């Protein structure tokens, strides 16, 4: 379990560029040629966790929990299986908001604009990694998007950035009655990806 120690506004946050520079250096804790982990040590926040490849499936949840390289939780194990089944050579777990909290009810009530800005820099970076120049984004946040009023606004910023990179959005599994994309945890490992009009979703479902 990870319970936030307090508001992220009280933390000395590493910018994404600083955290990435450290994450690209060799580590005694994990193989940096296999893993992308930013920041590269366990913090109250996480920008990126994933494997390295030329055509990653970018899975977007709400916020990170306790997973780390070589210590994936069941959600991340499911993400990796679905990515490989659908022809991707790697996966990247990204989140709408970067604060760690195993229980989303423990997320801070107010968006930290600095943390959000750096998280969007991380999003730009991972979109640039796809060597096919058509990054695939898997919306997988479930109904948790309703937990905080700032979360849809964070997704709107992601949509705008995605348009710059000609990103394609997908879902996997059955959507909720309100149209929310399915969470990865209980998906079959052979689940396919369905096209997702995320802009219309935000207008009609939130």
Q: In order along the chain (206 residues), what is the average pLDDT of each group of 10 residues?
A: 94 97 96 97 97 97 95 95 96 98 96 98 97 94 96 96 97 95 92 96 88
For residue 165, is the peptide bond before it cis, meaning its omega torsion is within 30 degrees of 0? Answer: no
pLDDT of residue 77: 95
Q: Rounded distance, CA 102 to CA 2, Å?
A: 5
Q: How many CA atoms lie within 13 A of 106 on its CB side?
A: 17
Cβ 170 vs Cβ 138: under 8 Å: yes
Integer angstrom CA distances of residue 91 from 5, 34, 85? 29, 11, 11
pLDDT of residue 205: 84
pLDDT of residue 39: 98
Cβ 198 vs Cβ 170: under 8 Å: no
Q: Report residue 177 as tokens.
A: 């009655």
Stated as kind and residue range, the H or E segment containing 122 is helix 113-128
Q: Rounded distance, CA 97 to CA 56, Å?
A: 20
pTM for this model (two decimals): 0.96
């Amino acid at each position: 379990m990870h319970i936030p120690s307090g508001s992220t506004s009280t933390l000395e946050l590493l910018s994404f560029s600083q955290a990435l520079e450290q994450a690209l250096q060799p580590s005694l804790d994990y193989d940096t040629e296999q893993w992308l982990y930013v920041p590269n040590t366990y913090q109250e926040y996480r920008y990126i966790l994933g494997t390295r490849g030329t055509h990653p499936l970018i899975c977007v949840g709400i916020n990170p929990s306790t997973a780390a390289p070589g210590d994936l939780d069941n959600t991340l194990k499911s993400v990796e299986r679905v990515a490989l089944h659908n022809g991707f050579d790697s996966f990247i777990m990204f989140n709408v908001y970067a604060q760690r909290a195993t229980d989303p009810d423990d997320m801070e009530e107010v968006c930290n604009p600095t943390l959000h800005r750096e998280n969007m820099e991380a999003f730009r970076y991972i979109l640039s990694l796809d060597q096919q120049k058509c990054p695939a984004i898997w919306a997988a946040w479930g109904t948790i998007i309703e937990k905080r009023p700032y979360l849809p606004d964070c997704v709107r910023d992601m949509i705008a950035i995605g348009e710059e990179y000609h990103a394609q959005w997908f879902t996997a599994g059955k959507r909720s009655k309100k149209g929310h994309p399915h969470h990865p945890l209980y998906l079959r490992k052979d689940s396919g990806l369905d096209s997702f009009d995320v802009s219309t979703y935000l207008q009609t479902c939130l």
